[in-house]
Copies of this chain bind each other. A is one copy, B any other.
Amino acid sequence: MDLQLEQIGHRYGDMAVLDNINLDIPAGKIVCIVGPSGCGKSTLLRLIGGLEKPSAGSVVQVGEPPAGSFNPLTYVFQDFALLPWRTVEDNVRLVLEDHPINKTETNAIIHDVLSRTKLIEFRHAFPRQLSGGMKQRVAISRALAVKPAVMLMDEPLSALDSQTRELLLDDLIRLWCREPFTSVYVTHNLNEAVRIGHSIVVLSRRPGRIREVVNIDLPLEQRARGHIELDRQQTHLWNIMRDEAIAADQELLSG
């Protein structure tokens, strides 16, 4: 299943947030979206996932979602969005409860996703007992549990410290290599973008427009730390964005 964004525009009241976004999200690929703060990255992700209706244009789903997918478009949130009153296991169970599957199947799915993220031992722990990295791994397990066609990730690593972020980025890459998934991955971190993105979409300052789309052909498994090609791409991206970032940082926020 592919996604196509067709001339998407969005406004909040008088404020234009996104303008004329055209983009293809092919199956099995990770599309990264980068851009200065407030340029509408999260908004774009909400439009793709159907959590908000675009003011103009449309998000089109091409082809059927794979059979057995409970929730074709599935989010992973920056702040994990775990229910603090449910254990790890029950947080995953939450998203399966509304579907017509029996208890053994549910337990099998939970076991499967928690072992893929190495959380089996912690299945009875409450979120408050987990470190940030573990919380995000729970959120990823939960997303995997509904067998998504597309994973929509909004800065999934930015709430973590940079060491944990390194570890989790490796985990994500390993997960993708084992079984490729489609993803739209919003990030602020250019290093993250060049490590995990098959293509990187650079948005301009608000109202967000597509400045450039950078494709990186290097297979994910070969993108080690400090790879020369990646450093080159990262510096290229930084040069595109530098002025926008300075301007965005110097702006007084309204309201």
Contacts and interface: CB of A to CB of B under 8 A. Distances in A.
A128 B164 contact: no
Interface residues of A, number: 39
Interface in A228-255: 231, 234-235, 238, 241, 245-246, 248-254
A87 to B, nearest CB: 12
A76 to B, nearest CB: 17
A248 B133 CA distance: 10
A253 B246 CA distance: 39
Q: Is the interface of A mostly helix, strand, loop or mixed?
A: helix
B36 A163 contact: yes
Contact of A161 (B158, B235, B250): B158
Contact of A225 (B37, B235, B250): B235
Interface in A140-170: 158, 161-164, 166-167
Given A188-B161, A190-B162, A129 B252 contact: yes
A210 to B, nearest CB: 17
Contacts of A246: 167
Contacts of A61: none
A250 to B, nearest CB: 7
A70 interface: no
Interface string A215-235: 000000000011000010011
A64 to B, nearest CB: 37
A69 interface: no
Contacts of A94: none
B225 A166 contact: no
A151 to B, nearest CB: 21
A167 B235 contact: no
A178 to B, nearest CB: 19
A246 B118 CA distance: 12
23 contacts: A37-B161, A129-B254, A131-B249, A131-B253, A134-B249, A134-B250, A158-B162, A161-B188, A162-B191, A163-B188, A163-B190, A163-B248, A163-B249, A164-B245, A164-B248, A164-B249, A166-B238, A166-B245, A167-B245, A167-B246, A225-B238, A226-B234, A226-B235
